[in-house]
Amino acid sequence: MDEGASQQNALTRRDMIRRSAAVLTGTIAATSALATLAPTRAWALELQTLSQHDGETILAFGQTLYPHATLPTAVYAMLVKDLDVAAKDPATASLLRDGTASLDSAAGGNFAAATPAARLAAAKAIEKTAYFAKVRSTCITSLYNNELAFAHFGYQGASWPKGGYIHRGFNDLTWLPNPPAAASPTVGVL
Amino acid sequence: MAAIAHNDDTAVVIIGSGAGGGTLANELCQKGIKVVLLEAGKRESSQTFIQDEWESFNQLAWLDKRTTSGNWRVATDFPNLPAWTCKTVGGTTTHWAGASLRLQEHEFKALTNYGKLEGANLADWPIGLAELAPYYAKAEHKMGVTRTNGNPGLPGNNNFKVLYNGATKLGYTKCSTGHMAINSKFRDHRSSCLQMGFCFQGCKSGAKWSTLYTEIPLAEETGHLDLRPQSHVVQIETNAAGKATAVVYVDAAGKTQRQKARIVAVAANSIETPRLLLNSASNQFPDGLANSSGQVGRNYMRHLTASVYAVFDEPVHMWRGTTMAGIIQDEAALKPSRGFVGGYEMETISLGLPFMAAFINPGAWGSDFTAALDGYTNMAGMWIVGEDMPRETNRVTLNTAVKDQFGQPVPNVHYDDHANDLAMRAHAFQQGGNVYRAVGAKSVIETPPYPSMHNLGTARMSNDPKLGVVNKHGQTHDVKNLFISDGSQFTTSAAENPTLTIVTLAIRQADYIASAMSKQTV
């Protein structure tokens, strides 16, 4: 990745950490199991409705469903946060709690503590369930529609505030030859 | 702008403000004809458009409840979202990507040129390219289509560079940044393209043509347009003589209103238009308004719409720049030796990270899925737009078991792929992959059709009132003062993006309506 882009992503990360303080708030209790998953003590996930075990299970389940080796755990915590909010609805809360039990059972006791292979097998075992569908579909927005994910995957988000890409690399690819002007005219006078 | 009284029965009432309705409204207003333009959605603007895929979707998309059936994958992956079209002033011209292609001559004579296919309802259009050519020219001028009227082509972005090089390696010769209704220079009081991306989310610079900030303001300036946003039409009324007399709608306050009409033109896109006709059934029209042919809602077409994405070793940053200014047209020709009739266009496309996760392989999970997203920065992509077969059994019907917010049956969209569609898609996936493999793709992803952005055919044109709903002017056979003005008119889908043709038909329909009004034949 070129220097300009890493600089921009670094700025975006700082921006994200500042803004996500509103999302991932509170202080880590030293006794919280989630504290061990936090990259630093500067962020924490406070759960309003779900239990700590449910939270850990969902986080591990998200990592099993959508494994990205270097995607920060904080992104998977967004999934837990979103489902914690959804769990204000009693039917959803019940679905999620029963889901934790089903994953634990399928993994031979404790899904969150199981090996990746065992977690994958457990996920496959419950693939047809409503709980699986709920968590999987929530992942699509929770994991991939936030600024930390954008920074990780290199997606630059909104461009209007920066004047679009006409002067920011919309055609900066150099590992293939440029098309001839007849196919692709040069940028005209605005 | 004119406030036209509800009891004023001298105006043309148009339902829907998109490519068809918005253009028809302006064309009629320019001729001094009063128009009431009813739009279900709100009036947004370049200022209020949002460059965030999910937020924009919630702002602009038609999200009223719908159901689906049939063997198309959309029914499994998006059972309540058969289409990605809009509920907003400007309709789907706010969301479209700007690709503006004329249909090909042979495509207007699909039955003659393709022959009869089992299980397909092919028919020739009652008009042809020669008759439409002068109107296509007017539409291209109106919309500022690049590579026409002295408008230069757009500069190609990184995604296009990959497409072009792959196309050239394969021996394709018809690859360029295409005919786009996006300003390549300042024109028509609107900005030149800033290569922002987010074309699908409403153009914040106004470089992309949309009736929202062209046709509709022009119509307002004449003083003859009464635009009513947040006016959701629920019924078209007729009298004992079989004339359309009024349009019933629910206004922003939730109150039912009745607007009398001299002429009614329906341009609600190809799911709501037939639904409205069916919901307007009466003793006189027991099978739905203007449905003596039984073809209202039938022959629903949505093009092929498959996509191919590829991951490379080097960055592409495909989201930078226009979403769709790039096309290979070689496969749009009629070449039955490939194993299917009809052709397809290959057009660059990009999705942002959020929508890529949602659409690249709906329902998929695990490391195969994540490997694709891990390569997002190094990804290029194309969208296949191909001619799908009209089938009488592919249709929009009323789902009487499910009611909308106004208590009306929602539309069900039923679609089964025809064998010709499957053969074409397989060929297109293969060729799309070949384009990218030719320039070093590490992996190629075949993406199934999205919720349909092109929706066509559900009130098709035919000279024969037994075989179609409207004549060659979009006038319904059954009700002389009732017109269809959107893509529902299409007899067949052809391989090209439909918007230019919808605008073209609307310009021509305006001439016909104005002439008929002055001669008192309507």
Express each pLDDT in B309-326 by its tens digit.
Answer: 999 999 999 999 999 999
Report whether pLDDT(A27) > 70: no
Residue B419's pLDDT is 98
**Whose structure tokens read 């020739």?**
B124
Question: Residue A187 — pLDDT band, cuts 50, 70, 90?
Answer: confident
Neighbours of B334 (CB within 10 A): 17
**Distance, CA of B395 to CA of B278 (rounded, Å):** 12
- For residue A40, pLDDT over 70 is answered with no
Structure tokens at B377: 């920065």
CA distance B245 to B259: 9
- Express each pLDDT in B233-254 by its tens digit: 999 999 999 999 999 999 999 9
Q: What is the pLDDT of residue B421?
A: 98
State residue A46's pLDDT score.
80
B187 within 8 A of B162, measured Cβ to Cβ: no
**Distance (Å) from the alpha carbon of A30 to chain B's nearest alpha carbon:** 33
Q: Taking Cα atoms as reference points, which of B303, B305, B307 lies closest to residue B433? A: B307
* Contact: A166, B193; criterion CB under 8 Å: yes
Helix (H) or strand (E) holding B22: helix B19-30
What pLDDT sits at residue B102?
98
**How many CB pairs (< 8 A) connect A and B?**
161
Chain B residues in contact with A156 by the CB 8 A cut-off are 317, 319-320
Per-residue pLDDT at A30 exceeds 70: no
Q: Is the pLDDT of residue A22 over 70?
A: no
Residues of B in contact with A172 (CB under 8 A): 158, 317
Q: How far is A111 from chain B (nearest CA, A)?
A: 17
Query: What residues of chain A, 140 to 159, have a C-beta less than 8 Å from chain B?
Result: 140-141, 143-145, 149-150, 153-159
**Which neighbouring-strand residues pair with B368?**
none
Burial of residue A2 (number of CB atoms within 10 Å: 0-12, 13-18, 19+): exposed
CA distance B338 to chain A (A): 27
Which residues have C-beta within 8 Å of that of residue B96, sequence separation ≥ 6? B19, B199, B200, B208, B210, B453, B497, B499
Mean pLDDT of A152-164: 97
Residue A185 pLDDT grade (very low, low, confident, very high; cuts 50, 70, 90): very high
Residue B1: per-residue pLDDT: 56
Report the mean per-residue pLDDT for chain A.
83
**pLDDT under 50 in chain B at which residues?**
none
Cα angle B138-B387-B128, degrees, rounded to a multiple of 5: 40
The number of beta carbons lying within 10 Å of the beta carbon of residue A151 is 23
